[in-house]
Structure 1
Amino acid sequence: MNKAEVEKLLERYRNGLCTEDEKTLVESWHLSALRTKTSDLDHAELTDAKNQIWSAIEEETELKSTRKQLLWPKLAAAAVVLFFIGFVISNQLKKQLPDQQQTSKTTEKIIKPGGNKATLTLADGSKISLTDATNGIIAKQAGINITKTSKGELIYTVATQSASNHRKDVFNTIETPRGGQYQINLPDGTKVWLNAESALKYPAAFNEEERKVELKGEAYFEVAKLTDKNGMRVPFKVKSDIGAGRSQEVEVLGTHFNINAYNNEPSNKTTLLEGSVRIKNLQSNISQLLKPGQQSIINSSSPLVKVETIDAEEAVTWKDGYFSFNEENLETIMNKIARWYNVEIDYRGNKINKTFGGRISRFNSVNEVLDMLQTTGAVHFKIEERRILVMP
């Protein structure tokens, strides 16, 4: 085989145009040894392989006359070498990739957000999982139909005229778990959005004397206006009895507001968006009127009702599917994350005395929310199953 034939053969091989016999010939020049290597190739191995290949080509084709004569075949051989180096590396990556992907899924487990989940407890003690119940009427009591819709809503509607003479002791309770939320339309037309890990106790039907409900956790209310037979407005009251000097009662006539009353939060906060409400501290009986854009704060350190002017819309972004952190401390933020993603929080190292701001969809994975917080450089996270480690 002369120089020209070798050149053409190597070119056809590089372009994948060799016949089986030609391919066998080229690979007999020790290229097959490189292709079938199963271990990772370091620099020394690659250099040795190239030397062996070139030596074999030189001996086989007797192309040893001059440096000039050797130049082109060397380039051609180098091209073949690079082809097989790429082939081997590609094979190695393909073999390793499934294991690496599996490892990634384990160490960077994606934790998905919550959804429409709740349990309804009727007056007789029976429980209905709203998560699993089929859409349509799921119960009837005190002349009221209770209907579940496909949108994650629970609707109470008057079924008979006898509902106006209902018993005052017929109460229902709707509860959302960690990772759950739900909307309920009460018999008087009031709409309530329950956040995660919350509970609302309410009568199956309201009378013309009083509308009173009890809340633990967080809820957004759009209270419907209701008048008695004399045309007087019937007040709507929300009691949040969470103890430790943070219990309160909110009285409204027709308005939009949000209450945040979790046991593991330091204060009980009510934010007014529309209308007017009166906030009463049940420990001291001191009360305050709120105007739209104001927030009341009740905590154990004071018998007063503290009032601040804030961006009220920011306080209720959770209802519209967002986390909105407005210079909040890390513990408050992690409480929100724990409730919505149903995870445990474990703090490691020194306490992080820093506030954070930002907005992100509640329907992103928890990984994306944590990444946003990590961009500050002030905090780092590690996920272990359903536990989030928080570190400086």
Structure 2
Amino acid sequence: MTRQEFYDILVARYLSNTATDEEMELFFGLLERGELEHALEKQLDQQYEPTPVQPSEQRTIRPARKNGYRRMAAAAIVIILFTAGYYLLKSDILSPSSNESSVLTAIPPGTNKASLTLADGRTVDLSSDKEGIVVGTDDVRYTDGSRVAAIQTTDADYTITTPRGGQYQINLPDGTRVWLNAASVLTYPSRFSDDKREVKLNGEAYFDVNHQSDAPFVVRTAEQEVTVLGTEFNISAYADERETKTTLVNGSVMVSMPVSGSGSHSLRLARGEQSSIAAGVLTKRTVDPGSAIAWKNGKFLFEREDIASIMRKVARWYDVEVVYADDVSGLTFTGSLSRFDDISKILDKIAYTRTVRFKIDHATTDGKGRRVIVMK
């Protein structure tokens, strides 16, 4: 048996959850030294099958770099704990070997959930059985053509709000499509003006802007203004996040940040670039857009992301409160998890690294058992 054949068998035994303790220790040691790279790539080629997407979505998830397929495939199978130097291979058959790290209470993932606030202040709860709404010239309908209650549009602003644990789609009057993530608010007019299309966002949304050369599309957040003609991009502007991020998938956008006493500071983004506003400073960098829009495609995708940031995303999507019993700062993870799994599967995958544990507190004031305690 050659060394490579032995490596192939070792990786296969680990993935099938049949490795002994001695083989597990050897596996992690070889992996940390980079000697299992070829064996892992073979497993990725054999196990990774791209998820079919609708033709309209294919252009929104193309990686920005040639090696994007390999990186996304690896992320779909491997969760890496960089700070400890350990690698956790993600597989549906894996589960913690100790009840200490297992989360037994099932908290389901978020669903299609939103409300629409009308010009007169009335609020309409949108159907959770529908994917989104279409704003027409005279009324508002669901994407399947059915009418949203008895709403008649007027020349005024409307607000669609997703709660924690909710997401929704909206087709604006100009044909622009917007996907709202959890805990987000989008304010829009029932009719855009002839020379400008403007909306306001608090939270996170993905925009597929309908091209109109004579009417720029403007997205305002608390810290920035993004101006486009027709393109696809993601904005993350949550109040509890340190950064406001704009990630360009296709086209070109101009990001402007007001500067006290001197007008504004602007940056133009090209495809695969991301702007960031943090502590009053506007910068940009090259990224893989797939990471920023993973939520839209039903995934949590982390790239060397710290545990606090991960848990904020989990809290918004599963509508839970997160409490830290121990100092776990400095732990960072990379990997891909499904947003459609219940919370127990998400937390168990992370807890499998043996560096962090989770517990769901049932003694919450609302009686829902929606407090997640993070421990070492």
The question of a shared fold, defined as TM-score above 0.5 by the shorter chain, is answered with yes
1:84 counterpart residue number: none
2:331 counterpart residue number: 354
> 1:288 deviation in Å?
0.3
1:125 counterpart residue number: 121
2:304 counterpart residue number: 327
Kindly provide the amino acid, as one letter, of the partner of residue 391 in structure 1. Answer: M
Give 5+ residue unaligned stretches, structure 1. 1-106, 227-231, 242-246
1:215 to 2:201 alignment: yes
> 1:133 deviation in Å?
8.9
In 1: Cα distance, 2:244 partner to 2:167 partner: 20
The CA deviation string for residues 254-282 of structure 1, in whole angstroms up to 9 with x for no partner, is 00000000000001000000000011112
1:287 counterpart residue number: 266
> 1:376 deviation in Å?
2.0
**Structure 1 pair 192–209 and aligned structure 2 pair: CA distance change class (3 A):** same
1:57 counterpart residue number: none
2:68 counterpart residue number: none
1:181 is paired with a residue of what secondary structure? strand
The CA deviation string for residues 225-258 of structure 1, in whole angstroms up to 9 with x for no partner, is 12xxxxx4210000001xxxxx000000100000
In 2: Cα distance, 1:138 partner to 1:122 partner: 15
Give 5+ residue unaligned stretches, structure 2. 1-102, 362-368
1:111 to 2:107 alignment: yes
1:286 is paired with a residue of what secondary structure? strand
In 2: Cα distance, 1:349 partner to 1:296 partner: 33
Kindly provide the amino acid, as one letter, of the partner of residue 315 in structure 2. Answer: A
1:337 is paired with a residue of what secondary structure? helix
1:299 counterpart residue number: 278
The CA deviation string for residues 71-90 of structure 1, in whole angstroms up to 9 with x for no partner, is xxxxxxxxxxxxxxxxxxxx
Query: Residues 153 and 184 of structure 1 are in contact (CA less than 8 Å); yes or no, is this contact kept in structure 2?
Result: no
1:375 counterpart residue number: 352
1:8 counterpart residue number: none
In 2: Cα distance, 1:149 partner to 1:296 partner: 32
Q: Which has the higher helix share?
A: 1
Question: What are the equivalent positions in structure 2 for 1:43-82 lying under 5 Å apart?
Answer: none
1:310 to 2:310 alignment: no
In 1: Cα distance, 2:209 partner to 2:331 partner: 37
2:170 counterpart residue number: 184
1:367 is paired with a residue of what secondary structure? helix
1:234 is paired with a residue of what secondary structure? coil
2:250 counterpart residue number: 274
Kindly provide the amino acid, as one letter, of the partner of residue 185 in structure 1. Answer: N
Choose which of 140, 154, 167 in structure 2 pairs with 1:146.
140
In 1: Cα distance, 2:351 partner to 2:129 partner: 39
The CA deviation string for residues 343-391 of structure 1, in whole angstroms up to 9 with x for no partner, is 0000011233111111011000111111111122221111121110001
The percentage of counterpart residues that share the same residue type is 45
1:305 is paired with a residue of what secondary structure? strand
**Structure 1 pair 153–359 and aligned structure 2 pair: CA distance change class (3 A):** farther
Kindly provide the amino acid, as one letter, of the partner of residue 330 in structure 2. Answer: N
1:260 to 2:236 alignment: yes
1:387 counterpart residue number: 371
In 2: Cα distance, 1:135 partner to 1:188 partner: 19
> 1:108 deviation in Å?
1.5
1:224 to 2:201 alignment: no
2:281 is paired with a residue of what secondary structure? coil
In 2: Cα distance, 1:322 partner to 1:139 partner: 28
**Structure 1 pair 383–281 and aligned structure 2 pair: CA distance change class (3 A):** same
Q: Which moved more, 1:232-241 or 1:330-339?
A: 232-241
In 2: Cα distance, 1:221 partner to 1:238 partner: 10
In 2: Cα distance, 1:314 partner to 1:150 partner: 29
2:203 is paired with a residue of what secondary structure? strand
Choose which of 194, 203, 210 in structure 1 pairs with 2:189.
203
2:107 is paired with a residue of what secondary structure? coil
**Structure 1 pair 152–367 and aligned structure 2 pair: CA distance change class (3 A):** farther
Aligned residues: 265
In 2: Cα distance, 1:372 partner to 1:152 partner: 40
Query: Residues 352 and 378 of structure 1 are in contact (CA less than 8 Å); yes or no, is this contact kept in structure 2?
Result: no
Query: Residues 152 and 182 of structure 1 are in contact (CA less than 8 Å); yes or no, is this contact kept in structure 2?
Result: no
Indicate the RMSD between aligned Cα atoms, in angstroms.
3.0
**Structure 1 pair 115–391 and aligned structure 2 pair: CA distance change class (3 A):** same
Kindly provide the amino acid, as one letter, of the partner of residue 105 in structure 2. Answer: K
**Structure 1 pair 135–185 and aligned structure 2 pair: CA distance change class (3 A):** closer
1:264 is paired with a residue of what secondary structure? coil
Choose which of 219, 222, 246 in structure 2 pairs with 1:238.
219
The CA deviation string for residues 156-177 of structure 1, in whole angstroms up to 9 with x for no partner, is xxx9xxx9xx74xx00000000
TM-score (norm 1): 0.63
Query: Residues 298 and 339 of structure 2 are in contact (CA less than 8 Å); yes or no, is this contact kept in structure 1?
Result: yes
In 2: Cα distance, 1:116 partner to 1:203 partner: 22
